[in-house]
Amino acid sequence: MSEASAGRTGVALTERQKISWLRLIRSDNVGPIAFRDLINHFGTAENALDALPELSRRGGTKHSYRVASIAEAERELEASRRHGAIFVGIGEAAYPSALRQIDGAPPLLAMKGDLSAAARPSLGIVGSRNASVSGAKFAAMIARDAGRARYVVTSGLARGIDTAAHRASLDTGTIAALAGGLDKPYPPENIGLLEDITSGRGLAISEMPFGWEPRARDFPRRNRLIAGISLGVAIVEAAHRSGSLITARYAADFGRLVFAVPGSPLDPRCHGTNDLLKQGAIVTTGPEDVIEALAPLSQLELPLPGAREPDGQTGVPANASDSDRAAVSTALGPTPVEIDDIVRHTGLSPTQVYLLLLELDLAGRLHRHPGGLVSVAATE
Amino acid sequence: MSEASAGRTGVALTERQKISWLRLIRSDNVGPIAFRDLINHFGTAENALDALPELSRRGGTKHSYRVASIAEAERELEASRRHGAIFVGIGEAAYPSALRQIDGAPPLLAMKGDLSAAARPSLGIVGSRNASVSGAKFAAMIARDAGRARYVVTSGLARGIDTAAHRASLDTGTIAALAGGLDKPYPPENIGLLEDITSGRGLAISEMPFGWEPRARDFPRRNRLIAGISLGVAIVEAAHRSGSLITARYAADFGRLVFAVPGSPLDPRCHGTNDLLKQGAIVTTGPEDVIEALAPLSQLELPLPGAREPDGQTGVPANASDSDRAAVSTALGPTPVEIDDIVRHTGLSPTQVYLLLLELDLAGRLHRHPGGLVSVAATE
């Protein structure tokens, strides 16, 4: 089935394909963008898995490269079944449609709860963990009214604003995006809230493996899911340099609306939100500000993305010589550059350049930046 | 001396001219715009005073028209001297230069205190009378830092934010714009503050007669002075439909900067300021926001306005026939229109139209609106 004829229902992955996808995304140094480029280049996850060790070797890996095994993927699928969760591929109907549009969307998402929540337009609501009483009240007010207006409320299950937003939208639908595996919610005191969410009209999602304990750097990555799944994100209280501002930044990068609630300049919990207002966020003093701005967007039909799987139409793998490899290495430095510029600079074909970048990526030597820019560390 | 050669020092009114100006602005139905048009048409205030009764009769006044007498004007000048104040004409050097630029600037301003304050660039700071502790603190913080940056702080001597702004700028210079006569400050508890202002580096100003007790409708009129005298106005706390928002509206109409301090949407004292932010006011979370935005403006040399007095070069008074009068009356209705449109519509000269509008104005039948629009009441 081609991309154009996939229609609004998407295409389902077979069980065998799902195992290959899971193996591929769980293999060393395969992030969402490398995953996409591998599938685009090799046609199927299975073909890509075969190519991984050689690609990483050519990219100059310094360690032995680990490909996730079939047994490992089967264990994770079994864990998800025990947990009552499923894995949904980016081309499948149950995958959140707004999230599909972002660069670096997870190819597989573990989901638990009412899957229909992911089909509805979402408003993200995030903010301080040490929220003020009025901040929490305001978050609940927006969540309740957004829920009545048929939006699902997405947040991060954190203390404070997140908790208030989830609780106020339990009856209308809420999505908790987790930084660790679905079986490793954080913080512990919100385990009960998560059960309320997944047993009712809500949903929990994660791109991380079952059993994964969330580390500090997993939270910004998770924030990208909240922004990506939502048409707009409301930031209720946020200090300078807080995680909520990372979510706001992602939302802006993805072209989503950013709402910020004004607050006293003398309250540090409002410094971040006031800064967002200075940067052009929508001044939000009530749910109507959010709902009116979202209304035109929630009417849009989002297109399904290109996903060459599952019919396995494969492109012809390009070959690259050592001199091509040297040319791309030379073109790269510690300053992020656009891939198009590397293509122009080296005179190689885009397919060759993507392949050579994949090699570096799998070898753990490439840094990917927002906007599709790439760099290598200065010492290389 | 012509307008072009008046230079930065302005031109001083003679004592005799000052009495005529005072008589003219204190005569029935002579507002600042009628004053300007009368001077433009008749060349001097003395000529205009002679014409007033006949003009108002032609305009269809229903009452006997009162021209302020010489004795009356002399009594007011004497009262100002006793009070230690002076009257300053719009063309004179001591007149606040930013205020000169606005449509409807008072032709005469009573001033008491350190006149040099009016020569410096001004920041207006206004807000709620029932300010919160943090609002008052914030107003004081802006006033203090703006004062250090050489701005004079202009406000309305009201309780709350105004009081905090004046007090914090006593040492660097502050201007209190009064709604009543200079000898009728309001509220009573701020009489001591006003004395501190005028005995130090500050200034009190008023366009109203000595002895005038301020009425409710005089306060919006006074707010126009605060906006007109300032390069920008900071609104610290303001409820919906509050006087501070009138000041903000005047500032926007005059092309001045409008600063608004964000606050909690759950605090009614912040509803007005948050609304201003929605309308594009500058998000203000510290004095630096104000000072940085004002800096380029405070370098501008403001031109002196056209003031045909005091050399008394007079234009040739136009004559208008009854049919011209009828044509202008027909062109006017309850919907405000531009004077240029009346000129085009009637085919009369601009001079004739201005004269016929003056007649209606002096007869109390014309309504003047922002932007120079005019209308008459529906029943006429």
Per-residue pLDDT at B300:
67
Least CB–CB distance from A285: residue in B137, B274, B283 = B274
Residue B339 has pLDDT above 90, yes or no: yes
* pLDDT mean over A181-191: 97
**Which one of A138, A283, A289 makes the best mutation probe of the B interface by having the most chain B beta carbons within 10 Å?**
A283
* pLDDT mean over B71-99: 95
Report the interhelical angle of A15-26 vs A32-42 (nearest 10°).
130
Residue B311 has pLDDT above 60, yes or no: no
Tens digits of residue pLDDT in A83-130 = 999 999 999 999 999 999 998 999 999 999 999 999 999 999 999 999
Q: What is the DSSP string of A154-199?
A: EE---TTHHHHHHHHTTTT-EEEEPSS-TTS-SSGGGHHHHHHHHH
Q: Predicted confidence band at A380 (pLDDT cuts at 50, 70, 90)?
A: very low
Q: Predicted confidence band at A314 (pLDDT cuts at 50, 70, 90)?
A: very low
CB B10 within 8 A of CB B308: no
Q: Which residue(s) pair with A206 in the sheet?
A: A110
Q: CA–CA separation, B368 vs B364, rounded Å? A: 11
Residue B4 has pLDDT above 50, yes or no: no
Residue B256 has pLDDT above 80, yes or no: yes
Q: Chain A residues with CB inside 8 Å of B270's CB? A: 262
CB A53 within 8 A of CB A29: no
A278 CB near a chain B CB, below 8 Å? yes
B274 CB near a chain A CB, below 8 Å? yes
* pLDDT mean over B122-137: 96
Per-residue pLDDT at B63:
81
Which of A15-24, B20-29, B55-64 shows the lowest mean pLDDT across its residues? B55-64
Residue A77 has pLDDT above 90, yes or no: yes
Least CB–CB distance from B265: residue in A265, A266, A285 = A285
**Which one of B237, B266, B277 makes the best mutation probe of the A interface by having the most chain A beta carbons within 10 Å?**
B266
Nearest CA in chain B to A237: B264
**Which one of A235, A264, A273, A288 makes the best mutation probe of the B interface by having the most chain B beta carbons within 10 Å?**
A264
Per-residue pLDDT at B321:
87
Nearest CA in chain B to A282: B278
Residue B308 has pLDDT above 80, yes or no: no
Per-residue pLDDT at B379:
57
* pLDDT mean over B236-262: 95
Nearest CA in chain B to A266: B134
Q: Chain A residues with CB inside 8 Å of B239's CB? A: none
Residue A320 has pLDDT above 70, yes or no: yes
B355 CB near a chain A CB, below 8 Å? no
Per-residue pLDDT at B306:
47
Interface contact flag, A278 B278, Cβ < 8 Å: no
Q: Predicted confidence band at B159 (pLDDT cuts at 50, 70, 90)?
A: very high
Query: Quick one: which H or E segment has residue B203?
Result: strand B203-206
Q: CA–CA separation, A240 vs A221, rounded Å? A: 19
Which of A32-46, A277-291, B359-373 shows the lowest mean pLDDT across its residues? B359-373
**Which is higher by pLDDT, B300 or A161?**
A161
Nearest CA in chain A to B141: A266
CB A235 within 8 A of CB A273: yes
Q: Predicted confidence band at B180 (pLDDT cuts at 50, 70, 90)?
A: very high
Residue A8 has pLDDT above 90, yes or no: no
Residue B196 has pLDDT above 90, yes or no: yes
- The DSSP output letter for A247 is H
> What is the interface pTM, i.e. ipTM, of the complex?
0.80
* pLDDT mean over A217-225: 96
Q: Which amino acid is at B184?
A: K
Tokens coding A332: 């790269």
Strand order in the sheet with B152-155: B86-89, B108-113, B203-206, B174-177, B152-155, B122-126, B232-235, B257-260, B282-283
* pLDDT mean over B219-243: 96
Beta strands in chain A (DSSP E): 86-89, 108-113, 122-126, 152-155, 174-177, 203-206, 232-235, 257-260, 282-283, 337-338, 366-369, 373-376
Nearest CA in chain B to A135: B264
Q: Predicted confidence band at A250 (pLDDT cuts at 50, 70, 90)?
A: very high
State the burial class of residue B74 (Cβ atoms within 10 Å of its Cβ: 0-12, 13-18, 19+): middle
Residue A134 has pLDDT above 70, yes or no: yes
Per-residue pLDDT at B370:
80
Compute the nearest-CA separation of A246 from chain B (Å).
21
Residue B352 has pLDDT above 70, yes or no: yes
Q: Chain B residues with CB inside 8 Å of A264's CB? A: 134, 138, 262-264
A259 CB near a chain B CB, below 8 Å? no
**Which one of B132, B133, B285 makes the best mutation probe of the A interface by having the most chain A beta carbons within 10 Å?**
B285
What mean pLDDT is reported for chain B? 91
Q: Predicted confidence band at A301 (pLDDT cuts at 50, 70, 90)?
A: low
Cβ burial A194-227 (10 Å sphere, 16+ → b, else e): beebbebbbbbbbbbbbebebeeebbebbbbbbb
Q: CA–CA separation, A217 vs A220, rounded Å? A: 6
Q: Predicted confidence band at A6 (pLDDT cuts at 50, 70, 90)?
A: very low
Tens digits of residue pLDDT in A143-160 = 999 999 999 999 999 999
Residue A64 has pLDDT above 90, yes or no: no
Per-residue pLDDT at A9:
57
- Cβ–Cβ pairs < 8 A, chains A and B: 55
Per-residue pLDDT at A115:
96
Per-residue pLDDT at A63:
81
Per-residue pLDDT at B7:
43
Least CB–CB distance from B262: residue in A134, A277, A286 = A277
CB B197 within 8 A of CB B171: no
Cβ-Cβ contacts under 8 Å for B299 (sequence gap 6 or more): none
Interface contact flag, B285 A262, Cβ < 8 Å: no
Q: Predicted confidence band at B72 (pLDDT cuts at 50, 70, 90)?
A: very high
Per-residue pLDDT at B258:
98
Question: What SS3 class is residue A373?
Answer: strand
Pairing of strands A203-206, A174-177: parallel
